[in-house]
Structure 1
Amino acid sequence: MIAAERRGIADLIDSLSPGQLRTPSLCESWTVQQVAGHLVAAVSDLDVSTLLLLLRSGFNVHRANDRLARRVAERHAVELADLLRHNADNPFRPPIVGYPGQLTDLQVHGQDMRRPLGLPHELRPEALRVSLDFLVGGRAVGFTPKQRPAGLRFEAHDIEWSWGSGPLVRGTGEAVMLALTGRTVILPELDGDGVPLLTRRLRA
């Protein structure tokens, strides 16, 4: 699943114009190309320059991640796509979040890139279920705080997935995944009596 997502995003990058690559993504202050840089950096070799970058960032992982994504994104888009394809089957398993975290990172960031460009992309149900289970399973460090889904029931009506108890948040599997990872743009696509509470948590 991870390899397929990397290849799909590489194809996406190859299809985009320079203007599309400069478009702001759904992910914080990154452009579409900078999101691609982040995905490439996740499978690039850890070298001395990367360690120095982490040191200059005061060992703040999030700050170092941002700087690394921007630096890698300075490469030509064709090179970014080629690196993703070359590393499609890279077996690296991140600590704590493991392969489910890596798959989730690819699926979420792929939509971060596609949605602002109006490019629909149907995620595979089996991959979505892995990511949804991961996001509510307590190991999603850096993806969603544990208190975000607490006390709510989530249902993905298109892939027959549900979790939790309490006020209901219901939508497509993609919409639920993006909401759990903090994308407020997705809120109008959700329904249920738990949406107001989730909205407050996302905007707090």
Structure 2
Amino acid sequence: MRLSGDERERVFVAVADERRAIATLIDGLDLEQLATPSLCGGWDVKTVAAHLVSDFTDGFWGFLASGVRHGGMNRGIDALARHRARASAADIAATLRREADHRLSPPVTGPLSGLTDVLVHGADIRIPLGMAHRPDPQHVARVIDFLTGPTQFGFFPQRRLRGIALRDEDTGRTWGGGDLISGSGASVMLALCGRVVAFDALTGPGVQVLRSRLSPIQRRYGVNG
């Protein structure tokens, strides 16, 4: 979706704030917590944080090049995250904090893909650690705008939302048409991105429809597959 100059600025500020918050969180974790499996399949908490560093140190073109080397974009992103995770947690946190204001705006997907990444991965880190994840409802609504729009790429197949309507009870906003899914914006956002842990907080006939469209790994283990 096209953003005005002021809207872009607000998105970049929100991304920077979340990077700093995650850096502070990572700084306070012990080795056992850093090794906790995240909601992102195959990655522990430290690797998720390392991926957020990879977002701007490797960037879109680095992801593409790694995807070519490793036989697919997802494999390429995974390889880069694991490489970045070799750094110490202190170094990962320091880089997130130092580069918090980096303006991530990949071709096609634009700045909202960066906001989506930090909000979803923030939940991937916090929820398994038993920590609250309460992003700003307006930021979440912007993410859902992006996830339901034509420029969403890489987060999930577009067909996942066919015939499904979404209602964000925090803002009162709705998207799409068909079988309804209703709940907090954060729960809707996470469910769209395959985080099964969010499904219990949602209601409506669309919940089972969406669940049936996740991969077998996602449905069985409740992680992004």
TM-score, normalising length: structure 2 = 0.84
The 8 Å contact of residues 105 and 113 in structure 2, kept in 1 or not, is answered as no
The 8 Å contact of residues 66 and 77 in structure 2, kept in 1 or not, is answered as no
CA offset digits 1:72-118 (Å, max 9, x no partner): 01111011011001111112321221100010000000000000011
Partner Cα separation in structure 2 for residue 132 and residue 173 of structure 1: 8
Partner Cα separation in structure 2 for residue 92 and residue 200 of structure 1: 33
1:102 partnered with 2:117 = no
The 8 Å contact of residues 184 and 202 in structure 1, kept in 2 or not, is answered as no
1:43 partnered with 2:56 = yes
Amino acid across the alignment from 1:202: L
Q: Determine which of 173, 181, 200 is the counterpart of 1:169.
A: 181
Partner Cα separation in structure 2 for residue 63 and residue 112 of structure 1: 19
1:115 partnered with 2:127 = yes
Amino acid across the alignment from 2:167: E
SS of the aligned residue for 2:87 comes to coil
Query: Structure 1 regions of 5+ residues with no counterpart?
Result: none
The 8 Å contact of residues 54 and 64 in structure 1, kept in 2 or not, is answered as yes
Equivalences, count: 201
1:23 partnered with 2:36 = yes
Identity %: 43
Report the Cα offset of residue 45 of structure 1.
5.1
Amino acid across the alignment from 1:7: R
1:154 partnered with 2:166 = yes
The 8 Å contact of residues 158 and 172 in structure 1, kept in 2 or not, is answered as yes
1:57 partnered with 2:67 = no
Q: Which runs of 4+ in 1 moved over 3 A?
A: 49-56
Amino acid across the alignment from 2:170: D
Task: Please provide the CA RMSD for this pair.
Answer: 1.8
Report the Cα offset of residue 144 of structure 1.
2.0
More helix by share: 2
The 8 Å contact of residues 63 and 77 in structure 2, kept in 1 or not, is answered as no
TM-score, normalising length: structure 1 = 0.92
Query: Structure 2 regions of 5+ residues with no counterpart?
Result: 1-13, 217-225
Question: What's the counterpart of residue 5 of structure 1?
Answer: 18
Question: What's the counterpart of residue 131 of structure 1?
Answer: 143
Relative to 1, partners in 2 of residues 1:203 and 1:64: Cα closer, same or farther, differing over 3 Å? closer
